[in-house]
Chains A and B, each alone.
Chain A
Amino acid sequence: EAGVAQSPRYKIIEKRQSVAFWCNPISGHATLYWYQQILGQGPKLLIQFQNNGVVDDSQLPKDRFSAERLKGVDSTLKIQPAKLEDSAVYLCASSLMGLANTEAFFGQGTRLTVV
């Protein structure tokens, strides 16, 4: 079974530029998550989708971050404009459904460096 696919693996941009990350979840998984992991910290949930609807985006900095999952399958996370403090690993995860007894599977992440 293919896992969660993310691209790119690495990205370096200058501050104030924009950047986008792509995620393809495990086939059939209705729930998709984006996390931000700053060095030395645990992953922070940014947004959770159930199919193409947003379940939780309470920790998403909406002035600069946006995410979409138009067809309920793959998803993109965008940052515009980027700041130095956005340097982090961005992780995508998916789960079969939004029930409390369903584990989430994570991708390898995209490492973003803002200079």
Chain B
Amino acid sequence: DAKTTQPPSMDCAEGRAANLPCNHSTISGNEYVYWYRQIHSQGPQYIIHGLKNNETNEMASLIITEDRKSSTLILPHATLRDTAVYYCIVNPDTGNQFYFGTGTSLTVIP
């Protein structure tokens, strides 16, 4: 039931900013945008989430467009340990379900 579209793969040079896009054109008013990542052989790890405003934490920044139809996750200074699959999820405003798509496989290159 994923309602998001992400590129299947991206590369980023170590030390540079990684900008991961996500389209969620059918998002409704009270649905949150969540980002998770999954490093090989581990469970998904929460990164950040937001509703309308841009958000920043110690891991990343989330930029949501004004019409809320797309967002970008920014890792400001990518390291090799950021190599993972990144999932953008639209969280229903009832029940707190997390439906994962296929995500974006980010490879950070030395």
Contact = CB atoms under 8 A, between A and B. Distances in A.
A49 to B, nearest CB: 11
Q: How large is the interface on A (under 10, 10 to 19, 20 to 34, 35 or more residues)?
A: 20 to 34
A2 to B, nearest CB: 14
A43 B44 contact: yes
A26 interface: no
Interface of B is mostly: loop
A48 B98 CA distance: 10
Contacts of B32: 100-101
A47 to B, nearest CB: 11
Contacts of A103: 34, 46, 49
Interface string B30-62: 111010000000111110010100000000000
Contacts of A41: 102
Contact of A107 (B2, B43, B51, B102): B43
A-B pairs, top 3 by smallest CB distance, nearest first, are: A106-B43, A42-B100, A103-B46
Interface of B: 2, 30-32, 34, 42-46, 49, 51, 85, 87, 91-103
